[in-house]
Amino acid sequence: MLNMIGPGVIGERLADARRARGLTQLQAAEELGVARTTITAMEKGDRRPRASELVKLARLYGRPVGDFVRPETTSRPNFVVQFRAVRGAEEANVNADIQRFEELCRWYVELEEELGAPLPRRYPAVYDISGTTPERAAEEVANSERNRLGLGDGPLGNLWGLLETDIGLRVFALPMTNGRIAGMFLYTEEYGGCIAVNANHPEDRRRWSAIHEYAHFLTDRFKPEITVLNLYKRVPENERFADAFARFFLMPATGLSRRFEAMRRAKNNPITPTDVLALSHLYHVSFQAMTWRLEELKLLPAGTWDRLHDMGFKPNKARELIRLPAHEPELPNLPLRYVALTVQAYEEGRLTEGQLAKRLGTDRVGARERVRELTSDSEPTEDGGWQQVPLDLTKALVGAP
């Protein structure tokens, strides 16, 4: 059984158990009768521990041997190998980001399996978009998805909740090392649909990237995708489809045209950049994206954006002048559901504090603070103040006595 588990996985588990016990590598090495470098090699996965060594370490760490050799989640996809087949992945130098993405997806699935809380999948069948232009196909699919999800033709509110709760996608915001990477998408039967967007990008860019990746999921979900900004001199049809889908899904023609005409009727003066800024803010898209969409709908003259750009118009500066606040990021780096499951696993003793911190991407102090935030609420005291009270994340709310 020891030989069936990857040495890197065993090493991670050994390191977490040692830290949880408050021991140094040197102390573990002395107990085992080996050099400290041997413990280092084991924890890094460079050397597989012998069975006798594992028994001694388990005794030292106060853990059953089974904790270190429990089976991994089966059929784990190799993200790096799959993404290397995607054009642009090599030059973008994204291996570290891919590995982090893979870790989060794997941990998410493992948490669900251990806690018996699978993420419901409400996936549509793969759309067939052959035999038509990318733009026409994109509009048809966008309208179909909005109807399926009951979204009407208005601006989208909580996009991230929609993707996770209503569809069943795993969505992360990762501060990626390469600024040209806008997003990643991968689908496997085990993990389901997984999307990562670049947390270093503005909120409107992140929303656009998420819907762009969602478009790939809807039409070609078994092909992994990395979106690299300004990669193509001649944009392939699947990328044209994904960008067009984002336009139609985020800014549906009927609702946007109705709001534009209502705005025009409500004022006696012509439409100005301020009006377009207000619309872009309402729809959570960039000023450029909104202007191009209005040109596409023939609500603004063709070339409006180009003329404003040549004149030196700065949307962000204009937004400040009219005191229109920029949208704050609505998607935390880690989905709340993932964080809640991680905290629940920790509270049930399924994760050590070191594992908790690693899965939350923080240090131990930050991890403890996150646990406190999610396991306590406030109630009034007798003197009129407020105090924190503990909450049990594992307590049943329905069907409990």
263 with 203, same domain: the answer is: no
Number of domains in the chain: 4
Of 290, 321, 352, the residue that ends a domain is 321
259 in a structural domain? yes
Distance from C-alpha of 337 to C-alpha of 119, rounded to nearest angstrom: 9
pLDDT at 397 over 70: no
Residue range(s) defining the domain that contains residue 155? 79-250
The Cα–Cα gap between 160 and 371 comes to: 23
Q: What is the pLDDT of residue 270?
A: 86
pLDDT given at position 82: 52
Question: Which CATH number does the domain housing residue 57 bear?
Answer: 1.10.260.40
Same domain, 115 and 201: yes
Residue 331 belongs to some domain of the structure = no
In a domain, 398, yes or no: no
Place of tokens 């860019």: 205
Do 174 and 225 share a domain, yes or no? yes
Would you say residue 206 has pLDDT above 90? yes
Q: Are residues 270 and 347 in the same domain?
A: no
**Average per-residue pLDDT for the chain:** 84
Do 237 and 145 fall within a single domain?
yes
Q: Which tens digit of pLDDT belongs to each residue from 88-103?
A: 555 446 777 888 888 8
Same domain? For 240 and 92 the reply is: yes
Closest CA to 184 of 250, 105, 247, 241: 105
Residue 398's pLDDT band (cuts 50, 70, 90): low
Q: What is the pLDDT of residue 392?
A: 57
pLDDT at 399: 57
pTM for the full model? 0.74
Strands 170-174 and 192-198, by their bridges, are: parallel
CATH number of 344's domain? 1.10.10
Write the pLDDT tens digit of every residue in 217-262: 999 888 888 888 876 667 788 899 999 999 999 999 999 999 999 9
- 42-51, 226-235, 239-248, 269-278 — which is least confidently predicted? 226-235
Whether residue 60 sits in one domain with residue 17? yes
3-state SS of the chain is CHHHCCHHHHHHHHHHHHHHHCCCHHHHHHHHCCCHHHHHHHHHCCCCCCHHHHHHHHHHHCCCCHHHHCCCCCCCCCHHHHHHCCCCHHHHCCHHHHHHHHHHHHHHHHHHHHHCCCCCCCCCCCCCCCCCCHHHHHHHHHHHHHHHHCCCCCCCCCHHHHHHHHHCCEEEEECCCCCCEEEEEEEECCCEEEEEEECCCCHHHHHHHHHHHHHHHHHHCCCCEEEECCCCCCCCHHHHHHHHHHHHHHCCHHHHHHHHHHHHHHCCCCCCHHHHHHHHHHHCCCHHHHHHHHHHCCCCCCCHHHHHHHCCCCHHHHHHHCCCCCCCCCCCCCCHHHHHHHHHHHHCCCCCHHHHHHHHCCCHHHHHHHHHHHCEEEEECCCCCEEEEECCCCCCCCCCC
Could you say which of 222, 250, 278 is where a domain stops? 250
**Amino acid 75: pLDDT:** 47
Considering the domain architecture, whether residues 302 and 169 belong to the same structural domain is answered as no
Asked whether residue 233 falls in the same domain as residue 174, the answer is yes
Considering the domain architecture, whether residues 315 and 347 belong to the same structural domain is answered as no
Does residue 185 carry a pLDDT above 80? Answer: yes
What is the per-residue pLDDT across 283-314, written as a single tens digit (0 to 9) for each?
999 999 999 999 999 999 999 999 999 999 99
> Is the pLDDT reported for residue 400 higher than 70?
no
Decide if 103 is inside a domain: yes
Same domain? For 259 and 245 the reply is no
* Domain assignment present for 220: yes
Weakest mean pLDDT among 116-120, 321-325, 363-367, 374-378: 374-378
Model confidence pLDDT, tens digit, residues 141-183: 999 999 999 999 999 988 998 999 999 999 999 999 888 889 9
234 and 193 fall within a common domain: yes
pLDDT for position 74? 46
Does residue 287 lie within any of the structural domains?
Answer: yes
Which of 49, 69, 89 represents a domain boundary (last residue)? 69
> Is 399 within the bounds of a domain?
no
How far apart, in whole angstroms, are the C-alpha atoms of residue 95 and residue 78? 12
Q: With respect to residue 224, please indicate whether it lies within any of the assigned structural domains.
A: yes
- What's the average model confidence in pLDDT over 315-325? 85
CA angle 118, 124, 129 (to 5 degrees): 145
